[in-house]
Structure formats: structure tokens, C-alpha cells
């Protein structure tokens, strides 16, 4: 096998000199070996991507490789680069769950209950009303009316202000105070 023979110094020298034919030859020689290492690590679908990353890493650090001084072989050095790229790939995959497609994935998604539709609308409405009743006693009548008319009835702030004899800012403040208290009381339970 070609990858078992020592790398030709002239090939490495030509690659270092940016000879495109030499680079192609190097990739042709070593890509199957890198792909084999990927398969041994269990990387199948993304093996081509990892190979590309390996050769990009190789291109950026090839000038640093020197067989004579380090005593390392090119293949051993390439194995180290491949190992590092495989580790990076595995970390990325671990952080980003794999997407699944096809009819099996569609069937599985269809079987997942839709959490938004879990509670009938009347149950949600009753929950909100119970929560509102719990905090209602804590507010003055005008504050509650301003909140109710602005939030529940959806009336215009200026109209509410005129009817109650307060400023528009007071209506907005009333709405904000009741909503903040409601959130403090029931928090995430009524989202």
C-alpha cells in the first residue's frame, strides 16, 4: 500500500513550494488513510468533512513538520492531526444534536404531543382568572379598573384615562403594576 512507504521528500518539498500537482498527489495518497481513521472512530457520514479539515490543518502547518529533527514520521504526524480533528468533530456533534429526516422522523414528530394544545382554552382562561382574583384584592379600585380595561377589554389608554380621570401614564403604570404582581405571584405557571 502506498501509505506504508515513506513519504517522498521531494513530494513534501514540492507541496511546501505550493505545487498543486504535488498537493493533489499527497491528498490522493493519504486521503484513504485519513478516511480509514475516521471510520475507525465511527465517523461515517461526515468523513469527507473531517478529511477536508485534516488537509486544511495539514496545509497550514506543513512548514512546521520536519522529519529529521523530531524523529516523527509524516504518517504519525498526520495521524495526530487527524486525531485532533476527529476530537473537534465529536465535540461539535455532541453540542449540536444530529438532525434526522425521512418518513420515520416525520412519524416520530407526529407522535410527540403538542404542548401548546395540551390544555383546553377554557382551562387556560380559568387559570388566568383564578390568578387574577388572587392579586385583585391588593390593588385600589381605579388601578384594577385601568388594568382590566386596558388588558382584558383592550380599550385605548387615552379613553380609559379620560373615563377614570387619570393620566395616560397612570393607566400604563396600573397595567404594568398588576402584570408584574401577577407574574410575581404565579410566575411561569400561566405561560
pLDDT of residue 158: 96
Dist CA 168 CA 165 (whole Å): 10
Give the max Cα distance, the chain: 94
More confident residue, 25 or 49: 49
Domains by residue range for the chain, with CATH:
2-95 (1.10.1740.10), 118-190 (1.10.10.10)
Q: Is the pTM of this model over 0.75?
A: no
Q: What is the pLDDT of residues 49-83, one digit of tens each?
A: 999 999 999 988 887 776 655 667 777 888 889 99
Residue holding cell 379600585?
A: 141
Interval 157-178: pLDDT, tens: 999 999 999 999 999 999 999 9
Q: Residues 170, 174, 177, CA angle at the centre, nearest 5°?
A: 135
Q: Percent of the chain scored above 70 by pLDDT?
A: 71
pLDDT at position 108 is 38
Amino acid at each position: 500500500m502506498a501509505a506504508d512507504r515513506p513519504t517522498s521528500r521531494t513530494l513534501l518539498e514540492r507541496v511546501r513550494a505550493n505545487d498543486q500537482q504535488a498537493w493533489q498527489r499527497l491528498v490522493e495518497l493519504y486521503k484513504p488513510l485519513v478516511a480509514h481513521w475516521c471510520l475507525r472512530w465511527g465517523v461515517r457520514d461526515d468523513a469527507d468533512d473531517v478529511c477536508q479539515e485534516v488537509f486544511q490543518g495539514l496545509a497550514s502547518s506543513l512548514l512546521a513538520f520536519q522529519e529529521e529533527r523530531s524523529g516523527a514520521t509524516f504518517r504519525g504526524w498526520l495521524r495526530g492531526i487527524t486525531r485532533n480533528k476527529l476530537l473537534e468533530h465529536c465535540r461539535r456533534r455532541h453540542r449540536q444534536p444530529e438532525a434526522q429526516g425521512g418518513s420515520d422522523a416525520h412519524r416520530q414528530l407526529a407522535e410527540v404531543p403538542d404542548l401548546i394544545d395540551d390544555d383546553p382554552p377554557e382551562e387556560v382562561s380559568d387559570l388566568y382568572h383564578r390568578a387574577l382574583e388572587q392579586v385583585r384584592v391588593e390593588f385600589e379600585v381605579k388601578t384594577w379598573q385601568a388594568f382590566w380595561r386596558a388588558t382584558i377589554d383592550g380599550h385605548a389608554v387615552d379613553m380609559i384615562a379620560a373615563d377614570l380621570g387619570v393620566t395616560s401614564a397612570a393607566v400604563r403604570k396600573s397595567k404594568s403594576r398588576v402584570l408584574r404582581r401577577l407574574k410575581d405571584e404565579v410566575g411561569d405557571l400561566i405561560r
